[in-house]
Amino acid sequence: MEGILLFAMEHGSLSDLSASTFSLMDEDHTLANSVRFTLNQENMDSSVVDCMGCVLRHNFYAYDMLTVRPRVVFCGYSIPHPSDNKVNIRVQTTGTISSSLSDPAKDVLKDALENLTQMCQHVRSTFGKTVDDFKVKNQ
pLDDT tens-digit series, residues 47-80: 344 444 334 333 333 334 333 356 788 889 999 9
Residue type, 4: I
Residue 121 pLDDT > 90, yes or no? Answer: yes
User: How many Å apart are CA 23 and CA 135, to the nearest integer?
Assistant: 43
Span 125-135, pLDDT tens digits: 999 999 999 99
Q: Domain map of the chain by residue range?
A: 7-137
User: How many Å apart are CA 89 and CA 79, to the nearest integer?
Assistant: 9
Q: Which CATH number fits domain 7-137: 3.60.15.10, 3.30.1360.10, 3.40.50.360, 3.40.50.300?
A: 3.30.1360.10
Residue 139 pLDDT > 50, yes or no? Answer: yes
User: How many Å apart are CA 28 and CA 75, to the nearest integer?
Assistant: 16
The sign one gets for the Cα dihedral 62, 104, 109, 24 is positive
What's the pLDDT band for 40 if we cut at 50, 70, 90?
confident
